[in-house]
Amino acid sequence: MLAKRLAIAILLAKGYRYETIKSILKVSQETIARVNISLNYQGEGYEIVVKKVLRDEKIENLLEKAGNIGLSILPNSSLKRTLETTKRKEKVRKSKTSLG
């Protein structure tokens, strides 16, 4: 249940509505409200985790964008095609692991 509560905290921090969180995570509105109260009034632990997750997501997005720019400036070559293929395979792998 702790993992779901952390997920609730992260989704609340991202601005998701209660109904959306309820349908995504299959939790009660009361659980969401308790996490929200903890976040707003006493949840120092939640706050630390949420900030770290959001920071890590920003870094990951930045690195991905930098990689895309790097690929776009490479001349058409076998290296560029190899990097693009590797990137596509990694995207597929990530989507499979996030679904499973």
* Digit-coded pLDDT (tens) for 18-33: 999 999 999 999 999 9
**What confidence score (pLDDT) does residue 47 get?**
84
CATH number at residue 69: 1.10.1270
- Identify whether the C-beta of residue 21 lies closer than 8 Å to the C-beta of residue 32: yes
Find, among 50, 42, 58, the residue nearest to 12 by Cα. Answer: 50
Please identify every stretch of the chain with a pLDDT value under 50, giving residue numbers as ranges.
Answer: 100
Residue with tokens 């990097």: 83
Q: What is the C-alpha separation between 49 and 9, in angstroms, rounded?
A: 9
Q: What is the C-alpha separation between 45 and 38, in angstroms, rounded?
A: 9
**Which residues span the domain enclosing 26?**
2-99
**What confidence score (pLDDT) does residue 69 get?**
67
Work out how many domains the chain is built from and give that number.
1
> 13: exposed, middle or buried (C-beta count within 10 Å: 0-12, 13-18, 19+)?
middle
